[in-house]
Amino acid sequence: MPIPGKLVHRAVAVAAALAVAGLGLVGTGCEGPRNYRGYKYKPYTIRGVTYVPLAPREAIGFVETGIASHYKEGGLFSRGKTSLGEGFSGGAKEAAHKTLPLPCRIKVTNLKNGRSMILRINDRGPFIDGRILDVTPRVAKDLGFYNAGLAPVQIEVISVGDGRYMIR
């Protein structure tokens, strides 16, 4: 049975919009384009403040305690791309940190309720004084602080890198 022309054009337009956004038709953002090799840990400046990320080998076992927040929800395309050029997904187990090498995996524990989980750091931020971690809405819900907006957390780096670039 032939497909009406308008439906074909609409499907092609949707697929093109998703491809331009770097999301593809399937995935959570973790499977997004890998437009980096190795790790991202060069110094960078935001609003006049220079941040110097840890080198990959220095980051293994790094522990930090502080306040976590979560990204605002505003629709699938509200945040664009992460610092690694991957599409953002509010349903992913991902987070942002100012000085950890990208990408890396951390264990984060909510110190108020003891809930913990493993996350992938693939973005920079939060750039608000006193905050150490910015997580997706899904993570905030899983850790039990979505409604509160903020939570005291402890993070520990468990690995740095992806694929053939990996330090444990």
Return the H-helix or E-strand segment holding 119. strand 116-123
Model-level pTM greater than 0.85? no
Give a yes or no: residue 17 inside a domain.
no
CATH number at residue 120: 2.40.40.10
Give a yes or no: residue 162 inside a domain.
yes
Question: How many independent structural domains does the chain possess?
Answer: 1
Give a yes or no: residue 18 inside a domain.
no
pLDDT at 70 (0 to 100): 93
Domain extent at residue 96: 29-167
Can you tell me the distance from the alpha carbon of 122 to that of 42, in angstroms, rounded to the nearest whole number?
14
Can you tell me the distance from the alpha carbon of 17 to that of 67, in angstroms, rounded to the nearest whole number?
36
Range of weakest confidence among 63-67, 87-91, 97-101? 87-91
Give a yes or no: residue 10 inside a domain.
no
Decide if 84 contacts 124 (C-beta within 8 A): no
Give a yes or no: residue 77 inside a domain.
yes
The string of pLDDT tens digits covering residues 69-82 is 998 765 444 557 77
Q: Which residue has the tokens 């949707």?
A: 14
